[in-house]
């Protein structure tokens, strides 16, 4: 295979290359998706060092479990982000993480303060928040829990007192509404 044109590889080709343990494919996958996965992880774990560790762990897991990816069940990105989010949630729930949070030095939490007091204008972020705010309250609450507070679908359904199937349906409906609004 020619490696010069890395952008030409589709999801199926990349995952097949990873299944065949072609290390260059993991590099391509990392280049394409690491930023998006990092953003999802840092929203949950809140520290750069921890997010970097979780991201590394996620790519190791993706490498090891590439054979479990089933394209008929969803996109590669969705599968990867679920792995990263689940690892981040597991990290936050761990006893060592919670104890470490109690003993953080001020330098390790400054980026959180900067993030909360951010004065730069990000029109996409504003648009997403407006779209979520305009959703039906039942759809809004599931989006808030899963995407902004880091709950799993099961945890969100438990917290809302609704069946998991209902939670998944509401989540799909909310995402579809937001996707249509983005055009």
Per-residue confidence of the chain (183 residues) as pLDDT tens digits?
444 455 578 888 888 898 898 888 888 989 999 998 999 898 888 888 889 999 999 999 998 998 898 888 888 888 999 999 999 988 888 766 555 554 455 445 545 545 544 544 444 555 667 777 778 888 888 888 887 777 888 888 999 999 999 999 998 988 888 788 766
Give the pLDDT confidence score for residue 181 in this predicted structure.
74
Reference 81, options 13, 89, 1, 19; nearest CA is 89
| Distance in angstroms (rounded) separating the CA atoms of residues 11 and 72 | 12
Angle at which helix 11-19 crosses helix 76-93, to 10 degrees, equals 60
Is the whole model's pTM more than 0.85, yes or no? no
Domains of the chain: 1-118 (1.10.1740.10), 120-183 (1.10.10.10)
Who's near 112: CB < 8 A, 6+ residues apart?
Answer: 46, 47
């Amino acid at each position: 295979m020619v490696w010069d044109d890395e952008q030409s590889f589709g999801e199926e080709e990349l995952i097949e290359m990873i299944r065949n343990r072609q290390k260059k494919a993991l590099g391509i996958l990392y280049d394409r998706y690491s930023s998006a996965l990092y953003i999802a992880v840092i929203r949950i774990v809140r520290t750069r060092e921890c997010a970097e560790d979780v991201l590394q762990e996620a790519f190791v897991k993706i490498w090891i479990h590439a054979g479990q990816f089933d394209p008929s069940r969803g996109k590669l990105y969705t599968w990867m982000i679920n792995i990263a989010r689940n690892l981040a949630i597991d990290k936050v729930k761990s006893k060592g993480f919670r104890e470490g949070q109690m003993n953080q030095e001020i330098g390790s939490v400054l980026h959180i303060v900067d993030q909360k007091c951010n004065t730069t204008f990000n029109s996409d972020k504003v648009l997403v928040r407006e779209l979520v705010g305009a959703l039906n309250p039942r759809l809004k609450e599931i989006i808030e829990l899963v995407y902004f507070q880091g709950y799993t679908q099961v945890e969100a359904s438990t917290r809302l007192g609704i069946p998991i199937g209902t939670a998944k349906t509401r989540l799909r409906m909310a995402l579809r509404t937001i996707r249509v609004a983005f055009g």
